[in-house]
Amino acid sequence: MGMWRDSDWLQSHIQRILEFYHPDCIDTAHGGYIAQFDEETGDIYEKRSKHLVATCRFITNYSIGHRVLDRNWCQSACEHGLDFLLDYHHDETQGGFHWIVEGREPIDSKRVCYGHAFVLLALARAKEADIVSWDIPLVETTDFVMERFWEDEHGLCKSEYDSTWTRPEAYRGQNANMHMCEALIAVYEATHDDQYLDDALTIAEALTVALTQKTDGLIWEHYAPTWEHDFMYNRETPNDTFRPWGYQPGHQIEWAKLLAILSRHSEADWLIRRAEELFRLSIDYGWDSDRGGFYYSFDREGAPVVTEKYSWEVAEAIGAAAALYERTGDSQYLDWYDTFWQYATTHMTNSEFGNWYTKVTETNEPVPTTEGIAVEPGYHPIGACTEALRSIA
């Protein structure tokens, strides 16, 4: 049995990841968090840029740290980030949240569904962790976000607006909706309001069942305004940060995890069936059986497109395997859980500090992030540990 099935090891792994960033990530000059860390050395390479996704992921991480590890510094760090989110990312005039803040000034105010989903997740996790020194406006914010982004005729969310909420982007995307589903599950778990669970199930069925009828059960990333598949969108930019072309094995298996989690709250018979199918499709098309790891993407014929391997993919696979083992009792998922952890601890983890690299090459050589605005302060591996604690340990 691997050490990664042990609750003490999983908790210590969460703490090591948090401590890679903490306390240097706490911006005492401007508020909020500093996310731009050299993943090899731990040095900070830029201090002023605040991405909405990074802010919310830090809040989520510290909420989990407070709840799972019972560390006082996690609570104070979480409150520090919540203050910045609601004072500086939040737009009091127009409503919603700025995408990028420089210091304390917004420099990109487009309204992005993907980012707003992480706002809801962060607020829900903070409420779940009883970090409530003031009233967290979870329900009010969730209802506002859903009112703005939700398209009732499709049971899915728009992707983006301008800063005044007057011009919706034509593009529709699966990624934003997947994370909105994740967020709505968290809001439901924090409030027990069935409306949020119903909305999460509606998104899940639309994307993993209805829209996969034309793609042999696989989930495509990009869509036209009325939710027809757009197979040419970003064809020339398969490495795009948020909207890469091609099928993503990581998203097939991330959906497998979300469907397994939904099955805790719903008796819908399609949830586990589709979760198991998506888990298998991700392995069949994306797992490198020789060297381990998931290719980043594959084309419509099933051939790898981007062969670099991102850590979020194997982290989501760990969570999916854990949840599916809990929900089915099938030992194959426990075997895959061990396989994924073996790969992650060997190739994705910085052995000196315990943080995870964003990505490695096809042959598993680390590619540390040393420039650009960062959005992933350990959210995915901490999530993997959290799901493992809930499902296995």
Whole-number Cα distances in Å, 294 to 218, 299, 300, 312: 16, 14, 17, 10
Each of the 393 residues of the chain gets a pLDDT tens digit; together they read 679 999 999 999 999 999 999 999 999 999 999 999 999 999 999 999 999 999 999 999 999 999 999 899 999 999 999 999 999 999 999 999 999 999 999 999 999 999 999 999 999 999 999 987 556 799 999 999 999 999 999 999 999 999 999 999 999 999 999 999 999 999 999 999 999 999 999 999 999 999 999 999 999 999 999 999 999 999 999 988 889 999 999 999 999 999 999 999 999 999 999 999 999 999 999 999 999 999 999 999 999 999 999 999 999 999 999 999 999 999 999 999 999 999 999 999 999 999 999 999 999 999 988 889 999 999 999 999 999 999 997
Angle, alpha carbons 387-263-202 (nearest 5°)? 110
The domain spans of the chain are 253-359
Pairing of strands 156-157, 150-151: antiparallel
C-alpha 203/C-alpha 338 separation (Å) is: 30
Exactly one of 22, 80, 179, 380 is catalytic; which is it?
380
- Tell me if 247 sits within 8 A of 231, measured CB to CB: no
Q: What is the pLDDT of residues 352-374, one digit of tens each?
A: 999 999 999 999 999 988 889 99
- Tell me if 217 sits within 8 A of 159, measured CB to CB: no
Helices (H) and strands (E) in the chain, counts: 12, 13
Q: Is 157 helix (H, G, I), strand (E, B) or coil?
A: strand
- Residue 98 is a catalytic residue: no
Angle, alpha carbons 314-197-133 (nearest 5°)? 85
Residues near 315 by beta carbon (within 8 Å), at least 6 away in sequence = 344, 356, 380, 381, 383, 384
Exactly one of 66, 98, 251, 347 is catalytic; which is it?
251
- Residue 251 is a catalytic residue: yes
Sign of CA dihedral 370, 115, 323, 73: positive
Residues near 238 by beta carbon (within 8 Å), at least 6 away in sequence = 244, 245, 246, 296, 297, 305, 306
